[in-house]
């Protein structure tokens, strides 16, 4: 199993009708996960501010860094992650998850 770091890219599109306070609560829930799941070595997120009209409806991006694939594999079934997913999913219209082991350019 690779020991290369893994970047875990997650995009959300909320359902129409999801209130601002629900969106905030869901974001706060994600932000709380690194405090509960030690394999989340770095976490960053933000709201889409792209100008090319190619976001395919997704509005929020969250990137977690795991030390290696074993970290990612420990995260997915972690009870704090699973509990979060249960709260999250009813509010999502679309969800995208893509992981990669980064090759770094300049």
**Interface with a second copy: number of residues (CB under 8 A):** 45
CB burial readout 48-81, b (16+ within 10 A) else e: eeeeeeeeeebebbbebbbbbbebbebbeebebb
The answer to whether 15 contacts a second copy (rule: CB under 8 A) is no
- The pattern of x and - marking residues 64 through 93 that bind a second copy according to CB under 8 A reads -----x--xx--x-----------------
76 SS3 class: coil
The answer to whether 24 contacts a second copy (rule: CB under 8 A) is no
The answer to whether 102 contacts a second copy (rule: CB under 8 A) is yes
75's enclosing H/E stretch is helix 69-75
Q: Find the binder of a second copy among 61, 70, 74, 88 (CB under 8 A).
A: 61
Cβ within 8 Å of residue 70, ≥6 positions away: 1, 39
The answer to whether 45 contacts a second copy (rule: CB under 8 A) is yes
Binding site for a second copy (CB under 8 A): 6-9, 11, 31, 34-35, 40-52, 54-56, 58, 60-61, 63, 69, 72-73, 76, 94-106
């Amino acid at each position: 199993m690779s020991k290369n770091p893994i970047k875990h890219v997650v995009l959300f599109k909320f359902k129409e009708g999801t209130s601002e306070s629900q969106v905030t609560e869901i974001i706060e829930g994600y932000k709380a996960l690194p405090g509960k799941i030690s394999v989340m070595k770095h976490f960053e997120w933000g709201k889409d501010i792209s100008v090319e009209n190619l976001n395919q409806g997704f509005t929020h991006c969250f990137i977690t860094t795991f030390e290696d694939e074993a970290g990612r594999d420990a995260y997915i079934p972690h009870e704090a992650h699973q509990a979060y997913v249960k709260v999250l999913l009813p509010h999502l219209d679309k969800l995208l998850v893509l992981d990669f082991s980064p090759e770094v350019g300049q």
